[in-house]
Chain A
Amino acid sequence: MIHSLFLINASGDIFLEKHWKSVVSRSVCDYFFEAQERASEAENVPPVISTPHHYLLSVYRHKIFFVAVIQTEVPPLFVIEFLHRVVDTFQDYFGVCSEVMIKDNVVVVYEVLEEMLDNGFPLATESNILKELIKPPTILRTVVNTITGSTNVGDQLPTGQLSVVPWRRTGVKYTNNEAYFDVIEEIDAIIDKSGSTITAEIQGVIDACVKLTGMPDLTLSFMNPRLLDDVSFHPCVRFKRWESERILSFIPPDGNFRLLSYHVSAQNLVAIPVYVKHNINFRDSSSLGRFEITVGPKQTMGKTVEGVMVTSQMPKGVLNMSLTPSQGTHIFDPVTKLLTWDVGKINPQKLPSLKGSMNLQAGTSKPDENPTINLQFKIQQLAISGLKVNRLDMYGEKYKPFKGIKYMTKAGKFQVRT
Chain B
Amino acid sequence: MAASPAYGEEKGGSSSLGEPEYGHDPASGGIFASDYKRHDDLKEMLDSNKDSLKLEAMKRIVAMIARGKNASDLFPAVVKNVACKNIEVKKLVYVYLVRYAEEQQDLALLSISTFQRGLKDPNQLIRASALRVLSSIRVPIIVPIMMLAIKEAASDMSPYVRKTAAHAIPKLYSLDSDQKDQLIEVIEKLLADKTTLVAGSVVMAFEEVCPERIDLIHKNYRKLCNLLIDVEEWGQVVIINMLTRYARTQFLSPNQNESLLEESAEKAFYGSEEEDTKDAKAEAASLAKRKPYVMDPDHRLLLRNTKPLLQSRNAAVVMAVAQLYFHLAPKAEVGVIAKALVRLLRSHSEVQYVVLQNVATMSIKRRGMFEPYLKSFYIRSTDPTQIKILKLEVLTNLANETNISTILREFQTYIRSMDKDFVAATIQAIGRCATNIGKVRDTCLNGLVQLLSNRDELVVAESVVVIKKLLQMQPAQHSEIIKHMAKLTDNIQVPMARASILWLIGEYCEHVPKIAPDVLRKMAKSFTNEEDIVKLQVINLAAKLYLTNSKQSKLLTQYVLNLAKYDQNYDIRDRARFIRQLIVPTEKSGALNKYAKKLFLAQKPAPILESSFKDRDHFQLGSLSHLLNAKAVGYQELPDWPDEAPDPSVRNVEVPEWTKCTSREKRKDKVEKPFYSDSEGESGPTESADSEPESDSEESGSSSSSGTSSSSSEEEDEEEEEGGSEEQSEDKEGEEEEEEKRKKKKEKGGPRKASPRSVGSEEEEEAEGKKVKKAAGPQGKKGHAESSSEEASASESSSSGSDSGTEAPTVVEAKRRKVIPSSKAGPKEISLLDLDDFTPPPPQPVPSSSIISTSLVTDLEGLTLTDTSLAPALLSPAFGAVRTYELLHRMAGEGLSVEYCFSRRPFPGDPHMVAVQIQISNNTDAEVKSLRVSEPKLLAGMRIQEFPEIALCFQRAWRPGTQPAW
The closest CB in chain A to the CB of B240 belongs to A75
A399 / chain B contacts, CB cutoff of 8 Å: none
Chain A: interface residue count, which band? 35 or more
CB contact list, A88-132 vs B, under 8 A? 106-107, 109-111, 114, 118-119, 121-123, 125
Task: Specify which chain B residues have a CB less than 8 angstroms from the CB of A158 in the assembled complex.
Answer: 125
Look across to chain B and name the residue whose beta carbon is closest to the beta carbon of A244: B675
- CB of A276 to closest CB in B, whole Å: 15
Q: Is A47 an interface residue (CB 8 A)?
A: yes
Is residue B386 within 8 Å, beta carbon to beta carbon, of the partner chain? yes
Q: Is A162's CB under 8 angstroms from B52's CB?
A: no
Task: For the A-B complex with A19-B99, A121-B201 known, give 14 more contacts whose Cβ atoms are closer than 8 Å.
Answer: A15-B67, A71-B634, A77-B315, A80-B354, A119-B171, A149-B50, A151-B55, A154-B87, A157-B125, A162-B197, A190-B378, A229-B339, A313-B381, A417-B381
Residues of the B chain whose Cβ atoms lie less than 8 Å from the Cβ of A229: 339
Q: Smallest distance from the beta carbon of B458 to chain A beta carbons, Å?
A: 12
In the assembled complex, 17 residue pairs joining A and B whose CB atoms fall closer than 8 Å, in A order, are A47-B349, A48-B354, A72-B634, A75-B623, A81-B316, A82-B316, A84-B351, A107-B59, A122-B232, A125-B233, A151-B86, A190-B378, A232-B343, A369-B417, A369-B418, A415-B382, A417-B381
Kindly specify which of B306-314, B490-498, B520-528, B646-654 makes contact with the partner chain.
B306-314
Is A362 among interface residues, defined by CB-CB distance under 8 A? no
**Measured between C-beta atoms, what is the minimum distance from A150 to chain B in Å?**
9
**Do B636 and A152 touch across chains, with their CB atoms under 8 A apart?**
no
Query: How far, in angstroms, from A291 to B378 measured CA to CA in the complex?
Result: 27
A368 / chain B contacts, CB cutoff of 8 Å:
416, 418, 454-456
B88 at the A/B interface (Cβ < 8 Å)?
A: yes
CA distance A334 to B467 in the complex (A): 38
Given A106-B63, A240-B672, A369-B416, A77 contacting B351 (CB threshold 8 A): yes
Question: When the two chains form their complex, are residues A22 and B66 in contact, meaning their CB atoms are under 8 A apart?
Answer: no
B-contacting 9-mer, from A55-63, A207-215, A346-354: A55-63
Beyond A109-B66, A110-B65, A239-B676, whether A55 also contacts B632 by CB under 8 A is yes
Interface check B933, CB cutoff 8 A: no
- Interface residue from A58, A71, A243 paired with B676 (Cβ < 8 Å): A243
B-contacting residues, A30-62, CB 8 Å: 41, 43-44, 46-48, 50, 55, 58-61
Residues on A with beta carbons closer than 8 Å to the beta carbon of B382: 372, 374, 413, 415
B204 at the interface (CB under 8 A from A): yes
Q: Is the CB of A151 within 8 A of B376?
A: no
CA distance A111 to B58 in the complex (A): 12
Task: Give chain A's interface residues, CB within 8 Å of chain B.
Answer: 1, 14-19, 21-23, 26, 41, 43-44, 46-48, 50, 55, 58-61, 70-78, 80-82, 84, 106-107, 109-111, 114, 118-119, 121-123, 125, 149, 151-155, 157-159, 161-162, 166, 188, 190, 192, 198-199, 201, 203, 226, 229-235, 239-240, 243-244, 258, 261, 263, 266-267, 313, 315-316, 365, 367-369, 372, 374, 413, 415, 417
Query: Is B68 touching A73 in the complex (CB atoms < 8 A)?
Result: no
Q: B945 — which chain A residues lie within 8 A by C-beta?
A: 244
Which residues of chain B have C-beta atoms less than 8 A from A374's C-beta? Answer: 382
A258 touches B313 (CB 8 A): yes
Closest 4 CB pairs of A and B: A72-B634, A157-B125, A153-B88, A151-B88
**Which of B66, B164, B204, B314 is the one whose CB lies under 8 Å from A81?**
B314
Given A19-B99, A48-B628, A111-B95, A119 contacting B237 (CB threshold 8 A):
no
Render B616-633 as a binary contact track against A, CB cut-off 8 A, 1 for contact.
Answer: 000000111101101011
Are B339 and A230 within 8 A (Cβ)?
yes
Q: How far is the CA of A355 from the CA of B124 in the complex (A)?
A: 70
Q: Mark B64-107, 1 if CB is under 8 A from A, else 0.
A: 01111000000000000000001110011011000100100000
Q: State whether A203 and B354 are in contact (beta carbons under 8 Å apart), knowing that A15-B67, A152-B88 are contacts in the complex.
A: no
| CA of A57 to CA of B170, assembled, Å | 22
Chain B residue at minimal CB-CB distance from A414 = B380
CB distance from A179 to the nearest CB of B (A): 20
Report yes or no: A72 in contact with B91, Cβ–Cβ below 8 A.
Answer: no
A50 B628 Cβ-Cβ under 8 A? yes
Write out the residue numbers on chain A whose beta carbons fall within 8 Å of the beta carbon of B67: 15-17, 106
Contact (Cβ within 8 A) B346 A149: no
B61 to chain A, nearest CB (A): 10
- Closest approach, in angstroms, between the C-beta of B386 and any C-beta of chain A? 6
Instruction: Evaluate contact between A372 and B381: CB separation under 8 angstroms.
Output: yes
Check B316 against A78 for contact (C-beta < 8 Å): yes
Expressed in whole angstroms, the Cα–Cα distance for A275 and B518 within the complex equals 55
Cβ proximity bits B342-374 to A, threshold 8 Å, 1 near / 0 not? 110010111101110000000000000000110
Check if B34 is an interface residue, CB within 8 A of chain A: no
Query: Does the CB pair A73–B343 fall under 8 Å?
Result: no
Q: How far is the CB of B695 from chain A (nearest CB, A)?
A: 22
Cα(A372)–Cα(B413), bound, Å = 11
For the complex, give the distance between the alpha carbons of A125 and B237 in Å: 15
- The answer for the CA separation of A59 and B55 in the assembled complex, in Å, is 33
B570 interfacial contact with A, CB 8 Å: no
Which B positions have Cβ atoms within 8 angstroms of A?
Answer: 50-52, 55, 59, 62-63, 65-68, 86-88, 91-92, 94-95, 99, 102, 123-126, 132, 135-136, 138, 158-160, 164, 167-168, 170-171, 174, 197, 201, 204, 229, 232-234, 237, 241, 308, 311-316, 318-320, 339-340, 342-343, 346, 348-351, 353-355, 372-373, 375-376, 378, 380-382, 384-386, 410, 413, 416-418, 454-456, 622-625, 627-628, 630, 632-636, 672-673, 675-676, 935, 945
Q: Contact between B316 and A199 (Cβ–Cβ < 8 Å)?
A: no
Give A151 Cβ to nearest chain B Cβ, in Å. Answer: 4
Smallest Cβ distance from A157 to chain B, in angstroms? 4
For residue A81, which residues in chain B have a CB less than 8 angstroms away from its CB?
A: 314-316, 351
Chain B residues positioned under 8 Å from A258 (CB to CB)? 313
Cβ of A298 to closest chain B Cβ, rounded Å: 20
Are B160 and A162 in touch, CB under 8 angstroms?
yes
With contacts A153-B88, A157-B125 known, is A74 near B349, CB below 8 A?
no
Indicate if the CB atoms of A77 and B66 lie closer than 8 Å: no
Are A26's CB and B68's CB within 8 A? yes
Whether B88 lies near A365 (C-beta < 8 A) is no
A18 to B316, CA, bound (A): 23
Which single member of A16, A58, A61, A231 contacts B311 (CB below 8 Å)? Answer: A231
Contact: B313 with A234, CB < 8 Å?
yes
Q: Closest A residue to B945 by CB, please name it.
A: A244
Q: Which residues of chain B are near A161, meaning CB under 8 Å?
A: 160
Q: Is B87 within 8 A of A73, CB to CB?
A: no
Q: Are B378 and A151 closer than 8 Å at their CB atoms?
A: no
With both chains docked as a complex, state the minimum distance between the C-beta of A348 and any C-beta of chain B, in angstroms. 28
A123–B167 contact, CB under 8 A? yes
A235 & B622 in contact (Cβ 8 Å cutoff): no
Determine the distance from Cα of A304 to Cα of B138 in the docked complex, in whole angstroms.
63
Indicate if the CB atoms of B385 and A44 lie closer than 8 Å.
yes
Nearest CB in chain B to that of A146: its residue: B52
Residues of chain B within 8 A of A21, CB atoms compared:
138, 174
Please indicate the chain B residues that have their CB under 8 angstroms from the CB of A125 in the complex: 233-234
Contact B351 A50 (CB under 8 A): no
Contacts of B386 in A (CB 8 A): 44, 46
Contact A73 B633 (CB under 8 A): yes
Q: Which of A48, A111, A231 contacts B627 (CB 8 A)?
A: A48
Q: How far is the CA of A316 from the CA of B372 in the complex (A)?
A: 37
Q: Chain B contacts of A15 at CB under 8 A?
A: 67
Whether B622 contacts A77 by the Cβ 8 Å rule is: yes
| In the complex, residue of chain A having the shortest beta-carbon distance to the beta carbon of B102 | A22
Smallest CB gap from A107: residue in B: B59
CA distance A55 to B634 in the complex (A): 12
Least distance between B626 CB and chain A CB atoms (Å): 9
Given contacts A243-B676, A261-B313, A415-B381, contact A74 B624 (CB under 8 A): yes
Q: Do residues B316 and A77 form an inter-chain contact, with CB atoms below 8 A?
A: yes
Q: Are B376 and A266 in contact (CB under 8 A)?
A: yes
B220 to chain A, nearest CB (A): 19
What separation, in Å, do the CA atoms of A369 and B88 have in the docked complex? 59
Contact of B234 among A114, A121, A316, A367 (CB under 8 A): A121
- B91, B99, B320, most chain A CB atoms within 10 A: B91
**Complex CA–CA separation, A200 to B314 (angstroms):** 25
